[in-house]
Amino acid sequence: MYEFLTAKGIVVPDLADIHECYEVSQREEKFVFTINVSATNIEKLMKNFCSELDEPCFLIIEVPTNVTYEQQLRADNTVPFHCDVHYCDGLSKKTLLELIDKYGELLINDGMVCFGFSSHTSHDELYIGKYKIATIFSADKQRYSNLMSKMDIPLEDNIKTVWDTFSSETPGSTNAISLDGKSIYDILEELKELGLYFAERREQ
């Protein structure tokens, strides 16, 4: 089994027991796939998933709220931090794959951004959350079990994610990065030309 790698903007002190695998649970009418995927395979997962999506599709990007607004929202340290949620609607699978080619490396490696891809019709969704743990939501269990098999990611019960390795002595951390002089906020500006819009500000 090859080494499990984290994204460049993520620090996890102990990866000894972390490996690629997934588990499936059920939430009402949806199956939830929780996936440990090495940073080297996140792009492959994204492309395989987007190739399976029913059109039209949309993109989700969540970034930390600007510090100026955050200071206004957080009266004290007991108040959760916030994130700004953006959507880009009505996209084709071809456009999603082109966006992955153009922006995927930064989306994958910036430790502060969460993002996802979904279908307006089936509502299947791939969400790459904090610490780049991937989650697929779908009513079609077999479809994405087949995708996992295609990627040689094994099914396990009660998988261990990086969250299970953290403690007060060994905390994880996430950091913003830039690639070729661009940050995730530069991507947001560029995607406005494609129709990206701010949807909501919510607690993390």
4 part of a folded domain: no
2 part of a folded domain: no
1 part of a folded domain: no
pLDDT of residue 73: 58
% the chain with pLDDT above 90: 81
DSSP 66-86: PHHHHHHH-SSTTSPPEEEEE
Residue bearing the bigger pLDDT, 47 or 200: 47
Q: Structural domain tally of the chain?
A: 1
3 part of a folded domain: no
118 part of a folded domain: yes
Report which secondary-structure segment, H or E, holds 35: strand 30-36
Average pLDDT over the chain, rounded to whole?
92
Joined tokens for residue 88 = 């880009």
User: What's the CA gap between 7 and 110, in Å, rounded?
Assistant: 7
For residue 59, name the pLDDT band (cuts at 50, 70, 90).
very high
User: What's the CA gap between 163 and 196, in Å, rounded?
Assistant: 31
5 part of a folded domain: no
**Mean pLDDT along residues 70-87:** 72
pLDDT, one tens digit per residue, over 106-116 is 999 999 999 99
Q: Which domain holds residue 96?
A: 10-203
Write down the residue that tokens 């791939």 correspond to. 126
Tell me the CB-side half-sphere exposure of residue 204, using CA atoms within 13 A: 19
pLDDT of residue 204: 75
For residue 78, name the pLDDT band (cuts at 50, 70, 90).
low
Write down the residue that tokens 């989650």 correspond to. 135
Residue bearing the bigger pLDDT, 169 or 56: 56
